[in-house]
Structure 1
Amino acid sequence: MAAERPRGLLLDAMGTLIGLRKSVGHTYAEAACRHGLSLEAEALNAAFRTVFAAAPPLAFPSLQGAALRQAEQDWWTARVNATLEAVGVERPPAELGPELFHCFADAGLWQPYPEVPALLQRWHRQGLKLAVVSNFDSRLEPLLEQLGLRNWLHAVVVSSAVGAAKPEPAPLLLALEQLALPGSAVWHVGDSHDDAAAAAAAGLRCVRVQRP
């Protein structure tokens, strides 16, 4: 039996709608070079994957405004420092973490996957309510705006502001509230196990995206 057509979609961001034009390691290596450090991009990529997998959730209950933004920057600075230390940098430059935090706010580093703009426009035209739900931070909504995707979305929910990250269901439940739809009428689309687990906990059907 075919599944009933949804009335809304909750969409993951990184790895689902948008991706980096070049790897994290390449951007880290370029920034490190400006501080007199010569590092290999592939070594940085491997170190970042390990550091990121072990990181605490990017989520800050009860914070907002400038305090939230500072907590986001501090979280990412800690990941930058741990990545550099993992490839042998004993004392990462203090300026490098904040510099990279602002660097990744530049839409020039990101791109929508080729089919995404047309799909969002089509779904919006068909009357589907769309929300992005991401384990990311306050940089995401301006990025989606600059990439030309924000106009098709009813809401953007990020874990840092919600105070909980997928696989916890809270970000998805908040998005359902903002769309004013029940979970039975909404599917979640994402590329990770955390997306599938969060959708199951929130009572949503999950459609998994698998990109190369």
Structure 2
Amino acid sequence: MQSALRWVLWDVKDTLLKVRFSVGEQYCREAELMGLSFKPVEVNSAFRQTYKIYSNKYPNYGIAQGLNGHSWWTAVVQDTFSLCGVQDPALLKTLSHNLYHNFSNAQNWEVFNDSKKVLEDCSSLGLKLGVVSNFDKRLETILKSCDLLSHFSFLITSEESGAAKPSSLIFEQALQKCGVPSAQVAHVGDHYINDYLASRSIGIHGFLLDRDNKYNQSDIPKEHRLSSLEELPSRLQEQMD
């Protein structure tokens, strides 16, 4: 006999909300305020190059190397603009400071149309909700500014956890907060490895949100896939009956 669900854990970025504009567009807007002019495609390219380097050299915001989310993002922004030709240290400092704080605001994030209602529907089923996200400490502020924070009993970010998905450690920390076995917990996210496989590997009921039909792996049963969050409540209800 299956254990009835008690909790739903959530990924955030590209599951409940997304960046409103491309990184290149948002970085260019901030640069324009400083009297600088770049093309978004140029900044996007520099950002991707820089982000890849830092993600490989200093994974999970460099926590293991003594960095944190703020210092990590400061370096990424400054090196991105350095690649675009900005050499003034004071200007780089201002750009990185402003962009770090700008990305805490709701104006730079877009909540998906189905997010709030589905969170409410899950709560109406008697389920408690928590967040497990590869994100920095700004996540609480972002969720609050997007009017989503009140839905959750707890948040665990990879920066604060010291472990990032797909590591089982961050999920195990979440299970401790839930206080129930993994069989009574579901997880919803958009990443095949970090969300779906990682949660399933420790016995959590993982659901893969695939809004754009990107994943066609044969090892994903149809009942584990969601084309929109609107499909989730009925799937959860099946696990509760």
- For 2:125, the equivalent position in structure 1 comes to 126
Decide which structure has the larger Cα Rg and report it: 2
Paired-residue identity, %: 33
Question: Are 1:112 and 2:115 counterparts?
Answer: no
- For 1:18, the equivalent position in structure 2 comes to 17
- For 1:66, the equivalent position in structure 2 comes to none
Closer/same/farther in 2, CA of residues 91 and 208 from structure 1, 3 Å limit: farther
Question: Distance in 2 between the 1:5 and 1:116 partners?
Answer: 23
As a proportion of its length, which structure holds more helix? 2
Closer/same/farther in 2, CA of residues 125 and 79 from structure 1, 3 Å limit: same
Closer/same/farther in 2, CA of residues 141 and 211 from structure 1, 3 Å limit: same
Is 2:62–2:72's contact at 8 Å kept on the other side of the alignment? no
CA drift of 1:146 comes to 2.1
Closer/same/farther in 2, CA of residues 154 and 95 from structure 1, 3 Å limit: same
Q: SS at the partner of 2:177?
A: helix
How many residues are aligned here?
Answer: 203
Q: CA RMSD in A?
A: 2.3
Letter paired with 2:209? V
- For 2:202, the equivalent position in structure 1 comes to 202
CA drift of 1:88 comes to 4.2
- For 1:82, the equivalent position in structure 2 comes to 79
Letter paired with 1:23? S
Letter paired with 2:163? A
User: Any unmatched runs of 5+ in structure 2?
Assistant: 213-241
Letter paired with 2:72? W
- For 1:60, the equivalent position in structure 2 comes to 63
Closer/same/farther in 2, CA of residues 47 and 114 from structure 1, 3 Å limit: same
Letter paired with 1:34? L
Instruction: Give TM-score, length-normalised by structure 1.
Output: 0.85
Letter paired with 1:40? K
Closer/same/farther in 2, CA of residues 153 and 84 from structure 1, 3 Å limit: same
The equivalences for 1:1-212 within 5 A come to: 6-54=5-53, 55=55, 56-58=59-61, 60=63, 71-90=68-87, 93-192=92-191, 193-212=193-212
Closer/same/farther in 2, CA of residues 7 and 49 from structure 1, 3 Å limit: farther
- The structure with higher relative contact order (CA 8 Å, sep 6+) is 1
